């Protein structure tokens, strides 16, 4: 019980500090909305296309906290399970993980300058230059 309360407190604090995670594309993207299955399939390299057929290019911050939370939500995989998953895809040439960027400036530059770019950020970081296409419930 105590463990559960502490976990809830942690999640609450985490939400206050980092905000809720949202999936975003560039403002001028033709994509307006995705569902949870689209997000999971795109970020787990099960497809490299948006539902309208446009090519998707996944990018992300190399921030362990944000990454862990995001992939836990879309796949239920721990970071180590996720590493094994990517290794299987990468070394058979069947997929690759999102390209990682060291800071938000580089990430946002790429989001606005690469066709089909899609990423996830805290909703407190959303600007007018991007469009939210999925919000976790």
Min dist. Cβ of residue 128 to another protein (A):
27
56-115 residues near another protein, rule: CB under 8 A: 76, 78-81, 83-84, 87-88, 90-94, 96
Min dist. Cβ of residue 22 to another protein (A):
22
* SS percent in the chain: helix, strand, coil, step 5: 45, 20, 35
Of the two residues 92 and 128, which places its CB atom closer to another protein in the complex? 92
Buried b (16+ CB within 10 A) or exposed e, 50-86: beeeeebbbbbbebeebbebbbeebeebeeeebeebb
d(CA 58, CA 86): 14
DSSP letter at 55 equals B
Instruction: State the first-to-last Cα distance of the chain, in angstroms, to the nearest integer.
Output: 24
Min dist. Cβ of residue 41 to another protein (A):
5
Of the two residues 57 and 126, which places its CB atom closer to another protein in the complex? 57
Of the two residues 64 and 128, which places its CB atom closer to another protein in the complex? 64
List interacting residues with another protein (CB under 8 A): 37, 41, 46-49, 53, 55, 76, 78-81, 83-84, 87-88, 90-94, 96
């Amino acid at each position: 019980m105590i463990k559960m309360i502490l976990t809830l407190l942690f999640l609450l604090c985490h939400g206050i500090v980092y905000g809720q995670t949202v999936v975003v594309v560039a403002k001028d993207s033709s994509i307006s909305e995705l569902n949870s299955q689209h997000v999971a399939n795109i970020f787990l390299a099960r497809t490299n296309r948006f539902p309208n057929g446009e090519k998707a290019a996944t990018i992300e911050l190399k921030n362990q906290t944000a990454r862990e939370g995001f992939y836990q939500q879309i796949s239920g995989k721990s970071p180590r399970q996720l590493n094994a998953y990517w290794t299987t895809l990468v070394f058979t040439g069947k997929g690759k993980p999102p390209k990682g960027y060291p800071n938000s400036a580089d990430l946002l530059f790429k989001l606005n300058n690469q066709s089909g770019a899609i990423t996830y950020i805290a909703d407190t970081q959303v600007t007018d230059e991007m469009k939210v296409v999925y919000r976790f419930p």
